[in-house]
């Protein structure tokens, strides 16, 4: 498998139809020259998200749903997606299309041989943010604060829209497993 797209979902029944109209065409485009799977992680939704996901994936090959019995949080949903993903590259994206799915090929294009993670950013000089001014001001302020402590070339730290090399996702899972065991 070349690419896995992991989509965490929690109470997103209204966004599921957009996956068909906005994500599916991108998946088909990517499948022209690579193998692609989509892993949906339903993180304990209390609405009809799981049923809607079942409807849209029923006749799709290489699309599956993993369901948490209760809400475990975004981090757990991402880790579950990492553990189920079989691709050499794993892309994570919001189910509501916060970042446009049609930018996945561009995200993949930036993943060069010497780069392990690519994060999309509306605050990058080539990005575009449509966030309200108060949130944008807070976000930019937070980024400036963090840039004093980490790499100044990073223009956002919190975006879910990322591409990871498989080795990175495996390290994340092994670190999480080791830290959950606690001290000996």
Q: The pTM is what?
A: 0.80
- Write out the residue limits of the CATH 3.90.550.10 domain(s) in the chain: 3-120+159-181
For 125, other C-beta atoms within 10 Å of its C-beta total: 6
Sort 77 into a burial class: Cβ within 10 Å, 0-12 / 13-18 / 19+: buried
Residue 167, pLDDT > 80, answer yes
At 75-114, the pLDDT tens digits run: 999 999 999 999 999 999 999 988 899 999 999 999 988 9
Tokens 């609405």, residue?
A: 47
pLDDT score for 125: 47
Q: Of 3.90.320.10, 3.90.550.10, 3.40.50.10680, 3.90.1150.10, which CATH number belongs to 3-120+159-181?
A: 3.90.550.10
Residue 73, pLDDT > 50, answer yes
């Amino acid at each position: 498998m070349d690419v896995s797209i992991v989509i965490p979902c929690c109470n997103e029944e209204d966004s599921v139809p957009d996956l068909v109209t906005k994500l599916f065409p991108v998946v088909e485009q990517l499948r022209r020259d690579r193998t692609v799977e989509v892993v949906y992680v339903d993180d304990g939704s209390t609405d009809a998200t799981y049923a809607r996901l079942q409807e849209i994936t029923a006749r799709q090959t290489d699309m599956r749903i993993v369901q948490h019995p209760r809400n475990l949080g975004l981090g757990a949903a991402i880790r579950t997606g990492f553990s189920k993903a079989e691709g050499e590259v794993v892309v994570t994206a919001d189910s509501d299309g916060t970042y446009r799915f049609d930018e996945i090929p561009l995200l993949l294009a930036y993943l060069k041989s010497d780069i392990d993670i690519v994060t999309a950013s509306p605050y990058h000089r080539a990005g575009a943010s449509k966030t309200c001014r108060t949130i944008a001001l807070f976000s930019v302020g937070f980024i400036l604060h963090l840039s004093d402590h980490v790499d100044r070339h990073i223009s956002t730290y919190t975006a879910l829209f990322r591409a990871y090399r498989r080795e990175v996702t495996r390290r994340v899972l092994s670190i999480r497993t080791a830290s959950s065991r606690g001290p000996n």
